[in-house]
Amino acid sequence: MKKVTEEQKTERKPRPKASEVVTKWVMRALDTGVEALRAEYRSLARYTLPEVTYEAFKANHEAGRNRCVDFSITKKALYQDVPCQDQHRVVLTWPGAPCDYIHANYVGTPVSEKRFICTQGPLDGTIVEFWMMVLQEESQTIVMLCNCIETGKYKCSEYWPNQVGMTKTYAGIDITNLQVRPMSPEEQTVIVSVLFVKYTKPDGTPDQREVRHYQWTDWPDRGVPPCKLTSMELLSRIRGTTKPIIVHCSAGIGRTGTIVAIEYILERMQAGVECAAMNDLLRELRNQRAYTIQNDLQYLFIHRVMLCYFLERHKQRYEAILTEENQAKYKKFVDDYNQATGTNN
């Protein structure tokens, strides 16, 4: 009889149920607490893929295809541009593209290796490349997590028609706004635009498609929005697509990485894949998009939203977690979170 190795035995073990994965994740968050989570993030603040390279980014920098922003990566206030790593970068192959470069990376989840495209907010000079990427990747959904102007500073070009009936044209790509509405009566700060896109396919034939554009308008740069589970509502509306979901803010790492991380965790939980060690998940995300999740407050926000989702919205399902001791831990977590972020959620 063929001997079964310990490694093979491990491989054959069934995956835990989603509820078990959730419980383990929640308990780690509660037991770790806010200050230790902040320290955990700071220990990884400079982490990048060990073999990371930025050749395409550097080659296109002088051409003005990268956004220059101050990005603090140490307590000594060292600043540098936010780079786009070569690994997992989106390569433009659409006919007529000025080059094959756009500041964008694929980020995979258990659903798909190209579940998300994390990208910087389009500049005036990169709007054409942005829409070519939308068409090339057959994306049906764009999530914008910033405003074009924030606190008097330019953050993103107005690359889409934001009023009903308005049409914008870029390199023969016509985008018309068919509808503008809030995401829901309860979520007025996320604006949904239904965009009708007419274009010519690579084979020369005309085509058209619908793209939904979601703009979250009250998420401050480098900060956190109110904890109203807006992120969960947004994700529930977009996760049905099988095409890459394009997500951007300004630099495409902070707010963008935060919302992508929440869905990444949820999909791992649904698949019964271990995900309690958030420091490992941060590394996995940064292996695909450099400097994903920009600061410790965004790291905390991920935990706050997930805890609220499981311990408040789905309180009955996970009531076994809410012992008297754990309720006290959760209250302390919320209080410490509010103090750290200057919010009252």
Check if the beta carbon of residue 192 is closer than 8 Å to that of residue 170.
no
**249 an active-site residue?**
yes
Q: Does some domain include residue 318?
A: yes
Alpha helices in the chain, H assignment, sequence order: 6-12, 18-43, 55-61, 127-136, 230-238, 255-270, 278-286, 296-308, 324-341
Residue 159: pLDDT band with limits 50, 70, 90: very high
Cα gap 193→211, rounded to integer Å:
8
pLDDT at 67: 66
- The predicted pLDDT at position 7 comes to 46
What Cα–Cα distance (Å) separates residue 15 from each residue in 8, 85, 259, 264, 269?
14, 33, 26, 17, 11
Q: How far apart are CA 259 and CA 143, in angstroms?
A: 10
Model confidence at 298, pLDDT cuts 50, 70, 90, reads very high
Residue 116 contacts residue 106 (beta carbons within 8 Å):
yes
pLDDT digits (tens, 9 = 90+) for 235-261: 999 999 999 999 999 999 999 999 999
pLDDT at 63: 72
Q: What are phi and psi of 195, to 5 degrees?
A: -110, 135
Q: What is the C-alpha separation between 276 and 280, in angstroms, rounded?
A: 9
Residue 6 has pLDDT above 60, yes or no: no
Residue 136 falls inside a structural domain:
yes
Instruction: Evaluate whether residue 1 is within a structural domain.
Output: no
Mean pLDDT over 201-220 rounds to 96
- For residue 231, give every residue at least 6 positions away whose Cβ sits within 8 Å of its Cβ, in sequence order, or none: 259, 262, 305
Q: What is the pLDDT of residues 51-110, one digit of tens each?
A: 999 999 988 877 777 765 443 332 222 234 689 999 999 999 999 999 999 999 999 999
Structural domain harbouring 307: 6-341
The catalytic position among 118, 249, 275, 308 is 249
3-state SS record for 234-271: HHHHHCCCCCCEEEECCCCCCHHHHHHHHHHHHHHHHC
Q: Mean pLDDT throughout 296-303?
A: 97
Domain count along the chain: 1
Exposure pattern of 116-153 as b/e (b: 16+ CB <10 Å)? bbbbbbbbeebbbbbbbbbbbbebbbbbbbbbeeeeee
Place of tokens 């018309």: 176
Please report, for the domain that includes residue 263, its CATH number. 3.90.190.10
Asked whether residue 213 is assigned to any structural domain, the reply reads yes
pLDDT (tens digit per residue) in 272-297: 998 889 999 999 999 999 999 999 99
Contact between residue 214 and residue 238 where contact means Cβ atoms under 8 Å apart? yes
Is the residue at 311 inside a domain? yes
Q: What is the pLDDT of residue 323?
A: 95
Residue 82 within any structural domain of the chain: yes
Can you list the alpha helix ranges (DSSP code H) found in 103-157? 127-136
72 falls within a domain: yes
Instruction: Give the start-end residues of each E strand in 183-217.
Output: 190-200, 206-216
Q: Say if 97 falls within a structural domain.
A: yes
According to DSSP, residue 87 is labeled T
Per the prediction, the chain carries an average pLDDT of 91
Burial of residue 98 (CB within 10 Å: 0-12, 13-18, 19+) is: middle
User: What is the pLDDT, as a whole number, of residue 66?
Assistant: 76
Is 4 a residue whose pLDDT tops 90?
no
For residues 259 and 293, what is the distance between their CA atoms, to the nearest angstrom? 9
Look at residue 213 and give its three-state secondary structure: strand
62 class by beta-carbon count within 10 Å (0-12 exposed, 13-18 middle, 19+ buried): exposed
Residue 200 has phi, psi (to 5 degrees) of -110, 125
The Cα–Cα gap between 200 and 174 comes to 10
